[in-house]
């Protein structure tokens, strides 16, 4: 199980790094669209990584929302609302066809979601280094 956790965590770490690179470099609409795509990918890895971590604690979760709520209960997530908004916006991104909504989500990724993903990544890395997994 530890190998699976480390593998998932490394993939999530790489995705967070790529998202951060995109957030910092985005200059135009095309760049921002790329950031939104990186966010979608990063979010998928986030909830699937969290799923592995909470299942290691004996908690079963089947959906992204259920896994995020479980992660909050065990303390991996400090601000549950941000992650639930992240899920909601992730679901919207598949259907965005207007610049205004796209810009709004890009700004939330930059100001709230990316920093929150960095925070949970650090918590999960600490969990592994602490030997509790």
- The CATH number linked to 24 is 1.20.120.330
Question: Nearest-CA neighbor of 32 among 40, 41, 22?
Answer: 22
End-to-end CA distance of the chain: 9
B/e letters for 40-72, b = 16+ CB within 10 Å, e = fewer, are eebbebbbebbbbbbbeeebebeebeebbbbbb
Whole-prediction pTM: 0.93
pLDDT tens, position by position, 101-129? 999 999 999 999 999 999 999 999 999 88
pLDDT tens, position by position, 7-66? 999 999 999 999 999 999 999 999 999 999 999 999 999 999 999 999 999 999 999 999
Domain span at residue 61 reads: 2-129
Q: How many structural domains compose the chain?
A: 1
Angle between helices 80-93 and 114-129 (to 10 degrees): 120
């Amino acid at each position: 199980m530890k190998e699976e956790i480390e593998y998932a965590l490394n993939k999530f770490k790489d995705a967070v790094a790529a998202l951060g690179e995109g957030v910092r470099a985005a200059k135009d609409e095309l760049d921002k669209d790329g950031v939104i795509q990186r966010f979608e990918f990063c979010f998928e890895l986030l909830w699937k990584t969290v799923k592995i971590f909470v299942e290691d604690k004996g908690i079963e979760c089947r959906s992204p929302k259920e896994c995020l709520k479980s992660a909050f209960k065990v303390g991996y997530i400090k601000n549950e609302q941000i992650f639930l908004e992240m899920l909601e916006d992730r679901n919207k991104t598949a259907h965005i066809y207007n610049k205004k909504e796209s810009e709004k989500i890009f700004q939330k990724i930059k100001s709230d979601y990316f920093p929150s993903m960095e925070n949970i990544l650090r918590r999960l890395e600490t969990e592994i280094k602490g030997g509790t997994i």
